[in-house]
Structure 1
Amino acid sequence: MAKKDYYDILGVTKNAEDREIKRAYKRLAMKFHPDRNPGNKNSEDKFKEIKQAYEILSDSKKRATYDEYGHSAFEHENVNNTTTDFSDIFGDVFGDIFGNSRNKQKSKRGSDLKYLIELSLEDAIKGVTKEIKIPILKNCSYCNGTGSQGDLQKCYTCHGLGQIHMSQGFFTVQQTCPKCHGQGNFIKHPCFYCKGKKKLEVYKTLSVKIPSGINSGDQIRLSGEGELGYNKFLSGDLYIEVKIKKHHLFIRKENDLYCELPINFIIASLGGNIDIPILNGYVKLKIPQGTQTGKVFRIRNKGIKSIKNNNFGDLFCKIKVEVPINLNNKQKKILYELKENFNNFADYRNYPKLKKFLNNIKNFFYKIK
């Protein structure tokens, strides 16, 4: 019985490029792979046929011979045992399924790192440049990053290849060597300084520019200042996360500032103006007559400049009426006279809150008698 043409088996033309042949093989091999068709003898035979065709057409010399002489050129050769290692094909084509491709890169980008920096409210408002020291891992200079005293020991399990071949029926599977984990060698005598870890922790000093208006939770990214990349890959990034320290005077909410403003009872009673210090001078706050403790005044655009849109927040001042202390005799006499004057008005017209409180508490006890 005449053998089927290899090009027809893979479904490609005779002038097909190598990548077309590989693509066709991958598609068909995945379709008829025995693992996907357990117990199906036809699929197994078809897979063998596809494999034979690919082993010939993927080799430029064998393909040229086949094009000229056809199947007769290989009548005395066991195609299943050709010099083309099926594990190479299997690893190349099915690496995305099994993850065993010998061409899999062992290199990778360095990890990103995070550093927490605490700032005073003043530094956060005006902006500042800070120097920070961060711990990083650097290749051990004593063993040049090998982790070994002297030369590395060649792996005797995989003979330095980093991969081992395991037969599974009629094909061979390529796997990462369990002894050296794909490195091809291992450390027999660990480095005295890095204990075989290949890297040492050192400190690096960086200058970080903190923009004005930054707030807690904001981050600054320093590109390439993270963990070193393995095998000359790019380093990761360093993220500086900001935390604003608690302030003795102001509470910050987004770009607004809140504070308590003590005023004496004279200004609270008669009203007046108070000069409030701000970043660029003073602002005048008008206190109306009869201002009580707890009253909040809003001073627009006197908060913090936003780092996002350059708009200013507001300043909120909560009034706290301060009772005078350390009175001299003259001051006491004046206050006693004022007290007597207030007592002449039995309807509490000067203290409406006190009057309301006394009435409410009187009603409370009347109801529970």
Structure 2
Amino acid sequence: MADHYEVLGVARDASPDEIKKAYRRLARQLHPDVNPGEDAAERFKLVTHAYDVLSDPDQRQRYDLGGDAGAFGGSGAGFGGFSDIFETFFGGGAGGTRAGRPRSRRERGQDALVRVDLTLGDVVFGVHRDIEVDTAVLCETCQGSCCQPGTQPVTCDICHGSGQIQRTVRSLLGNVVTSQPCTTCQGYGTTIPYPCSTCQGQGRVRARRTVSIDIPAGVETGLRLQLPGSGEVGPAGGPNGDLYLEVTVAAHDVFSRDGDDLLATLEVSMIDAILGTSVTIDSLDGPVDLEIRQGVQAGDELTIRGRGITPLRGEQRGDLRVGVQVVTPSHLDPKSRALVQELAKRTRPAPPHLAEFHPGLFSKLRGKFKR
């Protein structure tokens, strides 16, 4: 009998992986379905037997010691080779593909995404919206059956309702039965001889509909709100997918958001900053009185409690934080200038000078006045 290592063309110290690769390469060349010659068939048998022996550690050890590692076709021979042959040529296990149940025409519908534009006021209080969406809806003519009224699906006369077609493949050790979806019914097991003329047999149509939604306070740009079951209806009247609302909040001319707080900038004249005053400002939920203390400085922050944003998951509203910007007059008439000079004499203000450096001063000012 020929040496198994020579038959496979590998060294005696070849690894199991090298032996397997050599066998597969030769099996592709010599398999009867590829090479019908008689010589090829005999060589194929030798290659298969050599692989059966050398791929089994115990048989290989006995063979290397000079023992009889199983006569051709004996106990244990052929099993590993057959499995590898099937995997090489058909990509599956030796048992073939087991036929499954027919596919269902009813499937879950796709999710839908709609973008919603909101104002900052909508974010503060929440808002009710009626959203127009263009999605697949249930066909009113067939109610999802896909059939013309008065008709129904019929069993496929090719696969007889199984949704699968079986195919017999010849192999070295016999015939192997495989299954694949029936091309006539597409694996459903039934056909529709009279499709609904409204939906062309889909069980759904495209339509524009209105969805009512209460958008909670505290949402922000990029947030997606999920409405389960409000998306597209599935094929053949399958369950609806979900609807997602993606929020975009428009910038406001006066107010900006910082977490749950609102920020604003208040311009104060130099006189009001010196003497102090009170003012009524328009917040997003109505007028609010604000006291400006005497001697307020540029960059100071005035806080109005509870006039910010209601958090998405909570009840305590944030604050309205107002940054002060002192406006210095750039043009004075002679009389006003004289009064300011008199004030300077009386208060004896310190001349401009460098003060102790505060690293956070500039970032603090930017934070107060950002819009």
| C-alpha distance in structure 2 between counterparts of 1:119 and 1:314, whole Å | 21
| Inter-partner Cα distance in structure 2 for 1:312 and 1:339 | 43
Supply the distance in 1 between the matched residues of 2:175 and 2:128 (Cα, whole angstroms): 67
Equivalence map 1:307-326=2 (5 Å) = 307-323=312-328
Q: Which residue of 2 aligns with 1:16?
A: none
CA distance in 2, matches of 1:222, 1:209: 11
The 8 Å contact of residues 202 and 235 in structure 2, kept in 1 or not, is answered as no
Could you tell me how far apart the structure 2 residues matched to 1:116 and 1:286 are?
Answer: 42
Using the TM superposition, give the Cα deviation of residue 123 of structure 1 relative to its aligned residue in structure 2, in angstroms: 2.2
The answer to whether 1:203 aligns with 2:208 is yes
Q: How many residues align?
A: 263
Checking the alignment, whether the CA contact within 8 Å between 1:217 and 1:243 is kept in structure 2 is yes
1:317: how far off? 1.0
1:132 alignment counterpart: 131
- CA separation in 2, counterparts of 1:311 and 1:265? 36
Q: What is the rounded CA distance, in whole Å, between the counterparts of 2:108 and 2:327 in structure 1?
A: 62
Q: What is the rounded CA distance, in whole Å, between the counterparts of 1:229 and 1:143 in structure 2?
A: 14
Judge conservation of contact 2:231–2:241 (CA < 8 Å) in 1: yes
Letter in 2 for 1:289: G
Please identify, of 170-179 and 113-122, the stretch whose mean Cα deviation from structure 2 is larger.
170-179
Give the match for residue 250 of structure 1.
Answer: 255
The answer on whether the counterparts of 1:159 and 1:184 sit within 8 Å (CA) in structure 2 is yes
Which residue of the partner structure matches residue 337 of structure 2?
Answer: 336
CA displacement 1:264-295 (0-9 Å, x = unmatched): 11112333333444436524333341512x33
Aligned twin of 2:349 = 349
Gaps of 5+ in 1: 1-36, 48-93, 358-369
CA 1:124–1:136: 2 relative to 1, 3 Å: same
Shift, 1:155, TM fit: 6.9
String of CA shifts for 1:167-220, please: whole Å, max 9, x gaps: 244442221124543135779999887677664321011221223343334443
Alpha-carbon separation, structure 2, partners of 1:334 and 1:162? 100
Alignment of 1:1-369 (within 5 A): 100-139=99-138, 146=146, 158=159, 161-168=162-169, 169-178=174-183, 180-184=185-189, 199-278=204-283, 279=285, 281-289=287-295, 291-292=297-298, 294-323=299-328, 332-341=333-342, 349=349, 352=352, 355-356=353-354
Quick one: structure 1 residues 281 and 290, their matched pair in 2 at CA, closer, same or farther if it must change by over 3 Å?
A: closer
TM superposition shift of 1:102: 2.2
Amino-acid identity (%): 28
Distance in 1, Cα, partners of 2:344 & 2:126: 56
1:304 deviates by 1.6
Q: Indicate if the aligned counterparts of 1:300 and 1:313 stay in contact, CA closer than 8 A.
A: yes
SS in 2 for 1:266: helix
Q: Quick one: which amino acid aligns to residue 322 of structure 2?
A: C
For normalisation by structure 1, the TM-score amounts to 0.56
Structure 2 contact 136–233 (Cα < 8 Å) conserved:
yes
Q: What residue identity is the alignment partner of 2:240?
A: S
1:210-265 per-residue CA deviation (whole Å, 9 max, x = no partner) reads 23343334443323211113344321222223222211111012211011111111
Larger helix share, 1 or 2:
1
268-277 or 188-197, larger mean C-alpha shift: 188-197
For residues 44-68 of structure 1, the C-alpha deviation after alignment (integer angstroms, 9 at most, x for no partner) is 9xx9xxxxxxxxxxxxxxxxxxxxx
- The residue number in structure 1 matching 2:60 is none
**Pair 1:349–1:147, CA change in 2 (3 A):** farther
Q: Counterpart in 1 of 2:59?
A: none
